[in-house]
Structure 1
Amino acid sequence: MKKKIQNKKRRWLKIVLKLVILGVILVFGFVGSIYFGLWGKVPSRTDLVDLKQAEASLILDHNEELLGKYFVFDRSIVSFNDLPEYLVNGLVATEDARFFEHDGIDYKSFLRVFFKSVLLQDDSSGGGSTITQQLAKNLFGRKQYWILSMPINKIKEMIVATRIEDVYDKKDIITLYLNTVPFSENTFGIESAAQRFFNTTTSELTLSESSTLVGTLKANHSYNPRLFPERSQFRRDVVLQQMQKYGYIDEAARLKVSNQPIEIDYHKFTYNEGLAPYFRENVRKQMTHILDSINDATGSTYDLYKDGLKITTTLDNTMQEYAEQGMSKHMERLQNQFEKGYGSNAPWIKDEVMITELTKKLPEYKRLQKTKLSDSQIMDSLRKKSKKPLFTYQGDTIVSVSTIDSLKHYLKFLNAGFVALEPKTGAIRAYVGGVNFEYFKYDHVSMGKRQVGSTFKPFVYTAALESGMDPCTYISVKEVTYTNEDDWTPSNASGDEVDPYMNYSLEKALSQSVNTIAVKVLDQVGIPNVVNQARKMGVTSDLPDVPSLALGTAELSLMELTAAYTSYVNESVPSKPYFIEKIEDKSGKILYEYKASKPMQPAFSDNTRQTMIEFMKATVDEGTAKRIRSTYGISNNMAGKTGTTQDNRDGWFMGITPDLVMGSWVGNDDHRIGFSNTSIGQGANSALPIVANFISALNKNSDFNSITHAKFETPSAIVLEALDCNPDKRDGFFKRLFGKKKKEKAFGE
């Protein structure tokens, strides 16, 4: 009996032994199949020597402060020397305490996880993956192999981890890991995470900030410090406890940080959000052309979204913040004025013909049209309500609206553009293409062309001075009917001739923006001469060959108009606006550097330039732009010109200081919708405040004293003598008695 039992045991032992051997063979065979690539290639040591990861290209302002990024994955690379010691220690203490002891695989942790997690189903055992294994996963990702996904991916990562340890030292591995690991909100790499959540660089991270970011690695959504601050703080404190446990910090240091709440300074760099999105979109477009030319010339393959390029632009981040804040502050107030001005008679409410026309241009209407629905069925479908986010100045709001409701909502919004140019170089220092890039993509600085109104008048007066007209030439404010122009009778903005017997000097005529005189000056100078003058100042858009050109019926972009005005403070030469200073690759090699093209010839004489500045200084001091002094208290040396177009559709203001030329435009995207009245729609009320808010902010910052304290040059003795006259004079008694009240003539006679 005893012998039978022994034989039975031997048979079972043989079976078990065979099963063990078979199991070992299967395990080794399975591992071998992975090792030799039967489940997909495993990166070799050669593959690991030159790891190339997609890296975000950085957009910098002219002071090399971060402005934004272009990326597939939001990743920026840093070196080991940039990593604070407590960041590295916190990572090791929390993720892989024996990191400096193992060669890529921590067998103690591996066995613990295997027995507790796999055999005992104990979830508290931890992950078991070393930092090096996690790096392998970050670099090469994981693939799906159905039920075998976990073991195959784990074994692959273990193989790759040992190879990484052969190729790189521990510092390199830590650096590679922190440059590739995903943090909260799809942010890749420690530098991008530091910038996004704390608005700082990696090297400047504090102990608390470092611990917070390390803590998010366990579950980057659940421990997102922006979304879940209390949960994130709890996890940060766990990291600090681990650091104390392994001797990296003492209890006093842990308690000091643990007693502090997490303070984030959130900055998101996305296509729609962040600083200067319209400007960044222009830079992106230019980068595409520049890189294409570099790649074609050198045989390179530079990629804006993957190659970690550094793009230094002309923008000034602080100026840009002031510009965006100044526009937003004003436009919210103006929008309220605009809507109240119309009340219940607003065209986006009452004009059914226009609304129907716009509805039929919607992509959704065209899509439904292809399904052979009738017009009434399509309109019924577009009236169905659903929850949608809508833009408001108080913040986006989710409301139940139909497609047509949404169209009406956006139809009522005014839009705006603002640009500030350095006149001597053409460098763009601030650029706001619209009120909100996410909802209004159209760029009103570079893309949009609108009638410029009275901001065209300086071209007329410049041409007049160049033709030899004396600044003290007096011209009557009387209305004139031009018989060969369909009996056209241009009138002044007020609609009244305040005193039909008054005559204004050119300075007063421009500063008060008198329409009747502007047309008469154009008549005397000739349309061809005025067009030629505008061309010399850099205007390339079509200019209509009609007398109303004097009143600004030409359509120009804000950028084109502002660039032309730079000639008044750039030795009579218009500057050429530009966006990009230089482009460097990730190693610092300069790929492109802006070189100014040969400057244009002076557009007019220096005497004319000085005279025109005096004319436009009078516009600001006592003319149509005087509220920049009276209402906004701007005392800077400044010249400028307001503009308002027919039916109050567009408001303009051009502001000139010795070292900065600014242009602003305001109007509705639909040309048919103007302001309800001139008091709201005139450029002095609609566009001027954007420039005023911007300058006010600059004045409060001493860093911009060189700009805000700059003085215009004193005009020459010749110019001062030419301007030495009364601004106006009244017709004498006999001229008033026998002169005609209204003269009729042919334009150009």
Structure 2
Amino acid sequence: MAKKKQPVKNQGYGKYIRWFWILFLTGIIAFILLFLSASVFGDLPDHTVLENPKTNLATEIISSDGKTLGKFYFNDNRTPVDYEVLPQHLVDALIATEDARFHQHSGIDGRGTLRAIVKMGKGGGASTISQQLAKQLFHGEGSKNIVERLMQKVNEWIIAIRLERQYTKEEIITQYFNIYDFGNNADGIKSAASIYFGKQPQELDIQESAMLVGMFKNSSLYNPRRNPEGVKNRRDVVLSQMQKYGYITERVKDSIQKTDLIINYTPESHREGIATYFREYLKKFMKDWIKNNPKADGTKYNLYSDGLKVYTTIDSRMQQYAEDAVQRHMINLQAEFDHQNTKDRNPTTPFLGLDEEEIDGLMNRSMRQSERWRKMKYDLKKSNEEIIESFNIPVPMTLFSWKGEIDTIMKPIDSMRYYKKFLHPGMMSMDPETGHVKAWVGGMNYRHFQYDHVKQGKRQVGSTFKPFVYATAIDQLHLSPCDEFPDVPYCIEEGRWGNLKDWCPENSGLTYGGSRSLKNALANSVNTITARLMDKVGPAHVIDMAKKLGVTTEIPEVPSIALGTVDLSVFEMVAAYSTFANKGVYTEPVMVTSIEDKNNTILYQFTPKTKDVLSEEVAYVTVKLLEGVTDGGSGTRLRTQGYEKWRPEYREIITGYPYQLTNPIAGKTGTTQNQSDGWFMGMVPNLVTGVWVGAEDRAVHFKTITYGQGASMALPIWGSYMKSCYADEDLNISKAAFKAPEELTIRVDCSEEANAAMADDETPNQDVPDDLDF
């Protein structure tokens, strides 16, 4: 049988044919790039535009310890980073997946382009990282029209070559990571690392880097919140590419591919995250600053797109400890309040002391003050009757609760009454020497409660005002904490200080008799002795003292202010008390240390503002008086040992007062009439913190002082916060004693007298609850 004829082998002509087409097509591309004008392909960016591409950059809020607290942006939550902070495996993942020959070409990958042409795009795209950056920077999504798309592709080639000429490879990589939209407000790698993993870019591990690089294919499709399985598969493709090109071993690839997709979704929005109330205050601060500080060309900075960096005094660790302390306490305090204010126990719940007609009037006023009323009245031009009717029509809504948000259908008027029952906190912490505000908690949930109880809100301060009276008396009369006064009823006569009638304050829970030292009287909030001091110095001098201490609110010139009848903010109170801790020097609170533009040029740097208010001796004596509050007065629970007790109504074990703080602490509790407001001001040498707790309406409060006093409502937040701060040794919160002045002429050590005077005392805190988790 004849042999089958073998086909004649190609004698090498195929190789020449391939090279012919390569040279031919390359020539065409070169002709297009070098000789065709921009008028054919549309406007192309010139040199200056390439140097300064138009991208919106968010304003970044940076804590004193270098963490991002939040950002201000409209649509683009973008904050650029430098190449040095990108982990090598993140860069490797991008190159392996998107442009393996990135370091060999000058903007266009000839081999990839020919492959795409021959296979009509079915073998994968040919866009280099430089081309993709050009697309992102200058024309976004491609047109569906074939001719227009070809024109856009040529534009990408031209721009990519220009980019390669003007930027290093590292700069192109960095721009690409900075400009890409990863979805969920994650614009750029810094936002993406933070939102998806709660990390800085340099902290990303290999699997996290692979997931983010996988999203470059299509961040809308490969969204880890909506399509976790697809994102995991795409991540594994990236890992395979990294192994293929030798960036990781097969063992590492296989190991990671076996793991589940792990994300730590941390949304960045104006109403979520850490320090939300502070960020809202900062927004107003920045708008005022922008109004008075134009750019060199006379235009105004844009808070949402100019990429400003705002360096603040807030410490992210202390802020978190403060927010945690507030949440821990408020959950349990609210549970106790709700337990005491069921319909069976209180038919007018959550209000106390009001009849139905008064409650209806209060609700009507609240309705007219609401945002819903404002929008319908002024934006939609609705009549009052239409607006009132709308408040009684059930609508879908999401309600706040300490157990999580509740999706329901409810009448707006009923939701308003529901929200009336909640107790609210306000808390601020400050370094008394520098004025740096370290923590700011204006409420419990900014998404549902936007009112800031640190600076915006002002409430009666109760007995926390008394140290202003004592400090005035010490300053003017050179009194000592050991000086004693009769423990008897005391009245200031009508007309003596402008008061319209006799003012005869009573003490709460105390018996009269004998005498009390000033230290004992302040520790136990003795009203009669405070009134006696007010009578000696006069309201005008006390008001002058308060103003020097930083209080800006107008205070009426009447004797009753001695007991704290004036409404002040937490912000004012912390600044005032800080003067005592700072040896009599008032330091204006500081929230912003500097502002920089996107090029790191300093635009603003704060200048400390201080003034001498008291002598060092008077400030120290006042501090020693305030130490008596925690050593033997209403703040002694900070010293006590914790305990556990079973609460059957909550079916859980309650742990109480687990502070056991032994270091020197100066402080003062405050409780207002009807237990509407609870305060605690606490100081150690390098940190002053004020806490307020109360409801939106003063008719919502605890029925008795057992839970309604400052020692129960506010002090536990301070204790919990300080425990956390002390546990973090890196913060260096002082446990030392307050430093005494070199020359001390006023006697402060009156321990023997105090022991004798206090032996038979009955303090106002004998009925403090021992069964609430603080």
> Residues 399 and 34 of structure 1: is their aligned pair in 2 closer, same or farther, counting only changes over 3 Å?
farther
State the AA in 1 paired with 2:128.
T
Which deviates more, 352-361 or 519-528?
352-361
- Residue in structure 2 matched with residue 201 of structure 1 by the alignment: 200
> Residues 713 and 360 of structure 1: is their aligned pair in 2 closer, same or farther, counting only changes over 3 Å?
closer
- Residue in structure 1 matched with residue 362 of structure 2 by the alignment: 354
- Tell me, in whole angstroms, the C-alpha distance in 2 between the residues paired with 1:699 and 1:372: 55
Q: Deviations over 1:674-711 (max 9, x none)?
A: 3332222211111111111110111222223x324222
Shift of residue 652, structure 1, vs aligned partner? 0.8
> Residues 114 and 346 of structure 1: is their aligned pair in 2 closer, same or farther, counting only changes over 3 Å?
farther
The answer (yes or no) to whether the contact 1:104–1:161 under 8 Å persists in 2 is yes
SS for the counterpart of 1:68 is strand
> Residues 729 and 178 of structure 1: is their aligned pair in 2 closer, same or farther, counting only changes over 3 Å?
closer
> Residues 467 and 162 of structure 1: is their aligned pair in 2 closer, same or farther, counting only changes over 3 Å?
closer
The answer (yes or no) to whether the contact 1:184–1:216 under 8 Å persists in 2 is no
Shift of residue 190, structure 1, vs aligned partner? 1.9
SS for the counterpart of 2:217 is coil
- Residue in structure 1 matched with residue 10 of structure 2 by the alignment: none
- Residue in structure 1 matched with residue 634 of structure 2 by the alignment: 624
- Tell me, in whole angstroms, the C-alpha distance in 1 between the residues paired with 2:685 and 2:748: 22
SS for the counterpart of 1:185 is coil
> Residues 381 and 443 of structure 1: is their aligned pair in 2 closer, same or farther, counting only changes over 3 Å?
closer
Structure 1 residue 613 and structure 2 residue 623: aligned? yes
The percent of aligned pairs where both chains have the same amino acid is 38
- Residue in structure 1 matched with residue 435 of structure 2 by the alignment: 426
- Residue in structure 1 matched with residue 446 of structure 2 by the alignment: 437
- Tell me, in whole angstroms, the C-alpha distance in 1 between the residues paired with 2:123 and 2:399: 47
- Residue in structure 1 matched with residue 545 of structure 2 by the alignment: 533
Shift of residue 605, structure 1, vs aligned partner? 3.2
- Residue in structure 2 matched with residue 563 of structure 1 by the alignment: 575
The answer (yes or no) to whether the contact 1:519–1:547 under 8 Å persists in 2 is yes
- Tell me, in whole angstroms, the C-alpha distance in 2 between the residues paired with 1:292 and 1:693: 40
Which deviates more, 276-285 or 709-718?
709-718
Q: Deviations over 1:469-493 (max 9, x none)?
A: 4541313232548455445432223
Structure 1 residue 413 and structure 2 residue 422: aligned? yes
State the AA in 2 paired with 1:513.
S
Of 499, 508, 513, the residue aligned with 1:493 is 508
Which deviates more, 434-443 or 124-133?
124-133
Shift of residue 197, structure 1, vs aligned partner? 2.4
SS for the counterpart of 2:607 is coil
- Tell me, in whole angstroms, the C-alpha distance in 2 between the residues paired with 1:460 and 1:253: 70
Shift of residue 217, structure 1, vs aligned partner? 1.6
Shift of residue 270, structure 1, vs aligned partner? 2.3
The answer (yes or no) to whether the contact 2:617–2:744 under 8 Å persists in 1 is no
State the AA in 2 paired with 1:616.
L
- Residue in structure 2 matched with residue 322 of structure 1 by the alignment: 321
- Tell me, in whole angstroms, the C-alpha distance in 1 between the residues paired with 2:287 and 2:159: 37
SS for the counterpart of 1:707 is coil
The answer (yes or no) to whether the contact 1:504–1:729 under 8 Å persists in 2 is no
Shift of residue 347, structure 1, vs aligned partner? 4.5
- Residue in structure 2 matched with residue 735 of structure 1 by the alignment: none
The answer (yes or no) to whether the contact 2:624–2:748 under 8 Å persists in 1 is no
- Tell me, in whole angstroms, the C-alpha distance in 2 between the residues paired with 1:346 and 1:298: 62
Q: Which has the higher helix share?
A: 1
- Residue in structure 2 matched with residue 219 of structure 1 by the alignment: 218
Structure 1 residue 653 and structure 2 residue 651: aligned? no
> Residues 97 and 448 of structure 1: is their aligned pair in 2 closer, same or farther, counting only changes over 3 Å?
same
The answer (yes or no) to whether the contact 2:485–2:529 under 8 Å persists in 1 is no
1:82-231 to 2 correspondence within 5 Å?
A: 82-106=85-109, 109=112, 125-142=123-140, 150-151=149-150, 153-226=152-225, 228-231=227-230
> Residues 470 and 112 of structure 1: is their aligned pair in 2 closer, same or farther, counting only changes over 3 Å?
closer
The answer (yes or no) to whether the contact 1:34–1:152 under 8 Å persists in 2 is no
What is the count of residue pairs matched by the alignment?
693
State the AA in 1 paired with 2:79.
S
Q: Deviations over 1:24-54 (max 9, x none)?
A: xxx9999999964477523235532443533
Structure 1 residue 696 and structure 2 residue 723: aligned? yes
Shift of residue 451, structure 1, vs aligned partner? 1.4
The answer (yes or no) to whether the contact 1:143–1:153 under 8 Å persists in 2 is no
Shift of residue 648, structure 1, vs aligned partner? 1.5
The answer (yes or no) to whether the contact 1:197–1:226 under 8 Å persists in 2 is no
Shift of residue 133, structure 1, vs aligned partner? 2.5
SS for the counterpart of 1:654 is strand
SS for the counterpart of 1:89 is helix
- Tell me, in whole angstroms, the C-alpha distance in 2 between the residues paired with 1:536 and 1:114: 79
State the AA in 2 paired with 1:556.
L
- Tell me, in whole angstroms, the C-alpha distance in 1 between the residues paired with 2:748 and 2:395: 70
- Residue in structure 2 matched with residue 16 of structure 1 by the alignment: none
Q: Deviations over 1:538-591 (max 9, x none)?
A: 222211111211110112111111111112121211221011112233443332
- Tell me, in whole angstroms, the C-alpha distance in 2 between the residues paired with 1:362 and 1:568: 40
Unaligned runs of 5+ in 1: 1-26, 119-123, 731-749
- Residue in structure 1 matched with residue 57 of structure 2 by the alignment: 55
1:430-509 to 2 correspondence within 5 Å?
A: 430-468=439-477, 469-471=479-481, 472-478=483-489, 480=491, 482-483=493-494, 485-494=500-509, 498-509=510-521
State the AA in 2 paired with 1:170.
K
- Residue in structure 2 matched with residue 712 of structure 1 by the alignment: 738
- Residue in structure 2 matched with residue 12 of structure 1 by the alignment: none
- Tell me, in whole angstroms, the C-alpha distance in 2 between the residues paired with 1:71 and 1:374: 35
Shift of residue 150, structure 1, vs aligned partner? 4.5
- Tell me, in whole angstroms, the C-alpha distance in 2 between the residues paired with 1:111 and 1:610: 82
> Residues 729 and 516 of structure 1: is their aligned pair in 2 closer, same or farther, counting only changes over 3 Å?
farther
Shift of residue 112, structure 1, vs aligned partner? 5.8
Shift of residue 661, structure 1, vs aligned partner? 0.7
The answer (yes or no) to whether the contact 2:73–2:303 under 8 Å persists in 1 is yes
State the AA in 2 paired with 1:360.
R
Shift of residue 97, structure 1, vs aligned partner? 3.4
> Residues 35 and 130 of structure 1: is their aligned pair in 2 closer, same or farther, counting only changes over 3 Å?
farther
- Tell me, in whole angstroms, the C-alpha distance in 1 between the residues paired with 2:417 and 2:634: 34
> Residues 221 and 329 of structure 1: is their aligned pair in 2 closer, same or farther, counting only changes over 3 Å?
farther
Shift of residue 226, structure 1, vs aligned partner? 4.9
Which deviates more, 482-491 or 27-36?
27-36
State the AA in 1 paired with 2:747.
L
Shift of residue 356, structure 1, vs aligned partner? 2.8
Structure 1 residue 76 and structure 2 residue 79: aligned? yes
* TM score, norm. by length of structure 1: 0.84
State the AA in 2 paired with 1:181.
Y
- Tell me, in whole angstroms, the C-alpha distance in 2 between the residues paired with 1:305 and 1:364: 27
SS for the counterpart of 2:407 is strand
Of 409, 412, 418, the residue aligned with 1:403 is 412
- Tell me, in whole angstroms, the C-alpha distance in 2 between the residues paired with 1:703 and 1:168: 41
Shift of residue 441, structure 1, vs aligned partner? 1.7
> Residues 473 and 300 of structure 1: is their aligned pair in 2 closer, same or farther, counting only changes over 3 Å?
same
- Tell me, in whole angstroms, the C-alpha distance in 1 between the residues paired with 2:291 and 2:364: 43
> Residues 125 and 186 of structure 1: is their aligned pair in 2 closer, same or farther, counting only changes over 3 Å?
farther
- Residue in structure 2 matched with residue 576 of structure 1 by the alignment: 588
